[in-house]
Amino acid sequence: MGWNLIFWVLCFFVDLALLSSNFYQLVILSDLEADYLNPYESSSRINFLIVPEIVVHGLLCALFLLTWHWFLFLITLPLTCYAAMLYMKRKHLIDVTEVFRDLSFEKKYRLVKLGFYLLLLFIIIFRVFTAAKMSFYRSESGELDIRSAFLEF
């Protein structure tokens, strides 16, 4: 199995983790809006996930840079810079006392991130399939046979 395929499968699981974390935060904010959770409980649950999400997203962006996937690096860079800016200004956590004031913005922000992670997931799924197809079509000499790899695709 090729290293390219292993890389894309790893990126798939990392993006899936980011997607599920973001969806969980959106559900918590919706529960807060519907008054199923109190503000302290909801903000503590979300704040527990924010810093690991920033770190994992930054690592994914750096991984794209180090493996020379420029397009995906440039796609993930603005969200990484925005998260780093929020972290530097110490505005990355949800404040318990102002959670209802910022609820609509936080929901919209997480919806945009959810759409971003879904778009990234579709790109990564496509790259997993192409990497699998390329790794399974090798000639007898060990070199890549590009013509046979794209005939059935």
For the question of whether the overall pTM of this predicted structure is more than 0.75, the answer is yes
A 10 A CB-CB count for 116 gives 18
pLDDT in tens, 19-38: 999 999 999 999 999 988 99
pLDDT in tens, 36-77: 899 999 999 999 999 999 999 999 999 999 999 999 999 999
Q: Helices marked H in 34-102 — which ranges?
A: 39-66, 70-88
- Cα distance between residue 24 and residue 50, in whole Å: 11
Q: Per the structure, how many domains does the chain have?
A: 1
Domain that holds residue 88: 3-151
Dihedral Cα 2, 8, 10, 14, nearest 10 deg: 180
